[in-house]
Amino acid sequence: MKKQLSALILAMLALASSACGEAAVSEEGVADTVETTAAAAETAAEEEETQAPSFADFPSSDLGGYTLRLGDTRQYDIYRFSIREEETGDVLNDAIYRSNREVEEKLNITIKSVLYDDPGKLADVIIAGEDAFDIATGQDLRMAELALGGYMSDISGIKGIDFSADWWPKHSVDAYEINGKMLLFSNYMSYFGLSRARVWYINKSLAADYGLKVPYDSIFDGTWTLDRLIEMINAVYSDVDGNGEKNEGDIFGLVKTHNYICMQPSMGIDTFAKNKDGQLEFVFDVSKASAAVEKLYKVFFESPSVFLISGDNSPVQQIFASGQALYYYDSLGMMETFLRDSDVDYGVICTPKLDESQPDYIAGYTDYSHGVPITAPDLEKIGACIEAMTASGYYTVAPAFIEKALKNKYTYDEQSAKVIDLIMGRMKVELAYSFSAQMALAFNNLFNTSSPGSDLASYYEKNKDKDIALLERINTLYS
């Protein structure tokens, strides 16, 4: 590049000298011209050297008009996180559409959707041994059942798949690769996982009304903990109608549903972890989990500042959207839906550390995972498609979702955008939850009953042997 730059500067010098012969130009003018053109050439060269990589750099291959069949589900419109049939002018929609067309062109393939009403029907087709699709996308718990049943192929040995590439999210590879094998996977073929990172939305106007500071500084200096979150929640309550009872018309510190997913891993409470040999071990920390359960139980079920609604999420969403709650816990994807149409001046807050001994924040998320059914033929072509689709999603769809949609279209302040960046760098999907380990479901199972409780020790004694048996089954499957 430096040689090319020198040649370009020399050419410009020659042009400048030629111009001197044709018209009366001062030495000073020539010098200025040379200096300006040289600077422009150097700037252009630097821009060329630092140009960001894109899917255009991904190697092409000819799969001879192969049709890739994607088995997916209409439940919750999950297929729309990876497939769009036409351009509409919406940034995210068009990024997904363009991403798939670019893959089709790169590989000389056609991508075809095979849609089912729900993950159960999709699973039935796999279990029946039908060759109906090449890649399945389904609800994480159901996909794990299929893997345990021996219905998913190991994609780790497929030629052309490189888990170390930038377009394979390290956090998902760490979770789903066990003992060198990968039967399920989560990557940029879909942005569903990105959209399901759990966060705490804060009503900034309500915080100001109660003299509370939005905790961005605490987040960035590493002191944002569960205790601080609880203090803020407990500081907000107003019996608006004066009837002495909590109801939907009041002002709350937190409006809460039955959804406790991802709180455990976000506070560093793991059920399984990989040892140095790549196999899973049971690592559930009863003491740490008990501390979290006791604090959460006290605020969720005993604080007057929390309005808890079981069942349908919509009343909860409406209460927050109406400006009647300081905090609301849900996924990043909510910014695309009801929050987009609300008038709430909200901020995005990451899940706090359990306490300051936790080394860093963790952004727990869930995903509708992918798998290649054992009935699918031609694994090498399927592998080439998986690699290209996750690369295209990484370069095209993920930036459209994170940079253009979340950080520019749906957030109202730079600090929230910085929190989103932090979350994207701390993502964690929990394999134990995907495989229905009982201790990974502890918060849900303790709190989501007609008689919620906080006796984690008893729950642990009842369930640890089941989880150890499950772990042994998984290790055998991946051996």
Supply the CATH number for residue 429's domain: 3.40.190.10
The pLDDT value recorded for residue 471 is 97
478 part of a folded domain:
no
For residues 204 and 351, membership in a common domain is answered with: yes
For residues 314 and 264, membership in a common domain is answered with: yes
470 part of a folded domain:
no
For residues 358 and 218, membership in a common domain is answered with: yes
Strands (DSSP E) contained in 127-181 are: 135-137
For residues 439 and 454, membership in a common domain is answered with: yes
The whole-angstrom separation of Cα 173 and Cα 369 is 12
For residues 355 and 219, membership in a common domain is answered with: yes
For residues 235 and 357, membership in a common domain is answered with: yes
For residues 291 and 351, membership in a common domain is answered with: yes
For residues 212 and 359, membership in a common domain is answered with: yes
Sign of CA dihedral 204, 425, 387, 173: negative
For residues 344 and 238, membership in a common domain is answered with: yes
372 part of a folded domain:
yes
- The residue whose two tokens read 């052309």 is 160
464 part of a folded domain:
no
41 part of a folded domain:
yes
463 part of a folded domain:
no
| Angle between helix 379-392 and 91-107 (nearest 10) | 140
> Domain of 154?
55-193+368-409
Per-residue pLDDT of the chain in tens (479 residues, 90 and over written 9): 433 434 433 343 343 344 444 444 444 444 444 455 445 545 544 444 457 899 999 999 999 999 999 999 998 899 999 999 999 999 999 999 999 999 999 999 999 999 998 888 999 999 999 999 999 999 999 999 999 999 999 999 899 999 999 999 999 999 999 999 999 999 999 999 999 999 999 999 999 999 999 999 999 999 999 999 999 999 999 999 899 889 889 999 999 888 899 999 999 999 999 999 999 999 999 999 999 999 999 999 999 999 988 766 678 889 999 999 999 999 999 999 889 889 999 999 999 999 999 999 999 999 999 999 999 999 999 999 999 999 999 999 999 999 999 999 998 899 999 999 999 999 999 999 999 999 999 999 999 888 999 999 999 999 999 999 999 999 999 99
282 part of a folded domain:
yes
The whole-angstrom separation of Cα 303 and Cα 254 is 10
The whole-angstrom separation of Cα 133 and Cα 159 is 20
For residues 389 and 286, membership in a common domain is answered with: no
Task: Count Cβ neighbours within 10 Å for each residue of 189-224 and write b for 16 or more, e otherwise.
Answer: bbbbbbbbbbbbbbbbebbeeeebebbbebbeeeeb
475 part of a folded domain:
no
The amino acid sitting at 193 is G
The amino acid sitting at 469 is A
Which residue, of 351, 376, 409, is where some domain finishes?
409
For residues 404 and 427, membership in a common domain is answered with: no
Task: Tally the domains of the chain.
Answer: 3
Give the DSSP H or E segment for 274: strand 272-274
CA 70 to chain centre: 21
Q: Give the angle 414-420-425 at the CA atoms, nearest 5°.
A: 130
For residues 164 and 76, membership in a common domain is answered with: yes
The pLDDT value recorded for residue 10 is 38
